[in-house]
Amino acid sequence: MDPEAARTAQESLDLVFHMSNILDAGLDRHTLSILIALCDLGQNPKALGAVVNELQREPSSSSPMPTSSSSVH
């Protein structure tokens, strides 16, 4: 990535992070950068938002996670 593109990407991430903080979304820079990359790859932003909301509603990670054998395929 050329320096100008890197600077623009960093400024964009800074802006999105600032907006996320204003909206109290609870997302860190790393998570936001992953979500932006997924959108750039064509993933549906609304669907990603729904996934983030669902993951934020789940109990803390101290709860046992379901195993793959108990999930529905």
**Helix-, strand-, coil-residue percentages of the chain, each rounded to 5:** 65, 0, 35
Every domain of the chain and the residues it spans: 8-55
Give this prediction's pTM.
0.72
**Confidence (pLDDT) at 25:** 93
**Confidence (pLDDT) at 35:** 96
> Which ranges of the chain have pLDDT less than 50?
70-71, 73
**Confidence (pLDDT) at 73:** 47
**Confidence (pLDDT) at 10:** 94
Query: At residue 37, what is the residue type?
Result: A
Q: Which helix (H) or strand (E) holds 20?
A: helix 3-22
**Confidence (pLDDT) at 59:** 76
